Structure 1
């Protein structure tokens, strides 16, 4: 593990494995670098350098306030710069929203170039059933009051849209204590989602070759969002991944798609 400094000085923890063209993995809600280990191994097997990192306020990375979505876009740019100045980027779930934001931010501000963008099940709602606009503020208030567990539950219910029985099951599991430690990141994910859920013209105009991935038996909002994004984004194509189920990436299948698409470019 190494740390790289983002534009605002935040230390971002980076894990690198393998050799070849770097693929930067941008994880989704509650994910940290270790959660992408299997995907990293699959990418290394395809001849890539796999680059995992803890997003700010997670794992071994730091955090600096005030927050704005652009700060996390700068984190991605700092990671890309650290691994050679250009990279393929794969974002999953809220990480896909961040990856697209980073691509747009880089194009506008001469940031680190992204060679190919892979967006796995981006949770865009396109104005339908959006969470309340005050969700980030309510989450931050809970975090500030030391009620991180309640922030996690609120985010799962309103930000993600999980059914209450599933949320209660998660709350009763040993995993919940780990999730509570990541409560600050729910504020950031909710803020990024609010900024990208209905993608702006700037996001849709990203010219980087883009592959939108969607699995099977996934959440209806994700099944709907993928083709809607591709219809609106000239640089994008839709690829269905039958091996990926229930909003989870299948590492070998996804790594193989990345290898094939990059080889065609």
Structure 2
């Protein structure tokens, strides 16, 4: 990361940017750092935007300050927006979308907000499943069992047991354990797991919710529910895409929306 700024509670935030034009701040999801969104940033930069990616607190090169509160992450975004010109569009991917939506609802100087497959639960039993996950996650992290916390998350995403075991034996596992405590932050941002319709109704700027055409039906339904709950919400499905969306497919869609 090439730049640092300091959030209101003293937490150091690492960020980088590319391109020239209106600012778009990219918000990463669970078990990821800002670097995962660098390819998407490049796609937006090619289309006339200054794309900004950052390490959320507790990850990568950014610091962390206890106790955690979702409001502190909203303040992080406020400071970043100020650092890149005082106004920006937001794009949140996966659970990062929940943070982007909360920031927009909080009245930050945001032009537009776009989210890709924010994993709100819309299916029967979804909230109960989410509650069970967060309870087990809290227990594992409370006892310092970071590896178990990572396993819980990977299992929640539907990864097969053999693949989880393989991941445990891989060189990447240490990096996953290093940011495992931030899983609690994503859990907090997602709340009870349901679509926060009242909060979304407070978003006064244009909103775009996007999902992949090859993703599970509930992902598309969740994105549609987000769009429907926002006063200026719209929905779009990307044919052939999954949760691991291709930056060169999502980038043009975002550029069209942010350029409107």
Query: TM-score, normalized by length of structure 1?
Result: 0.88
Aligned to 2:215: 218
1:38-53 matches, within 5 Å, as: 38-53=39-54
1:51-62 matches, within 5 Å, as: 51-62=52-63
Aligned to 1:142: 140
1:68 and 1:197 map into 2 onto residues whose CA distance is 19
Residues 40/172 of structure 1: CA separation in 2 closer, same or farther (3 Å cut): same
Matched, 1:261 2:224: no
Aligned to 1:202: 199
Q: Deviations over 1:79-99 (max 9, x none)?
A: 111101110111000010110
1:49 and 1:136 map into 2 onto residues whose CA distance is 36
List gaps (5 residues or longer) in structure 2. none
Matched, 1:249 2:250: no
1:1-265 matches, within 5 Å, as: 1-105=2-106, 107=107, 111=108, 113-126=109-122, 128=124, 129-130=126-127, 131-133=129-131, 135-136=133-134, 138-158=136-156, 160-194=157-191, 197-242=194-239, 245-264=241-260
Q: Deviations over 1:209-258 (max 9, x none)?
A: 00111112223431221112222222110111225x23012212222112
Contact kept in structure 2, 1:38 and 1:251, CA below 8 Å:
yes
Query: TM-score, normalized by length of structure 2?
Result: 0.90
Contact kept in structure 2, 1:126 and 1:199, CA below 8 Å:
no
Contact kept in structure 1, 2:131 and 2:192, CA below 8 Å:
no
Q: Give the RMSD, CA atoms, in angstroms.
A: 2.0
Residues 202/134 of structure 1: CA separation in 2 closer, same or farther (3 Å cut): same
Secondary structure at the residue paired with 1:212? Answer: strand
Stretches of 4+ moved more than 6 A in 1? none
1:246 and 1:127 map into 2 onto residues whose CA distance is 19
2:61 and 2:198 map into 1 onto residues whose CA distance is 34
2:177 and 2:217 map into 1 onto residues whose CA distance is 27
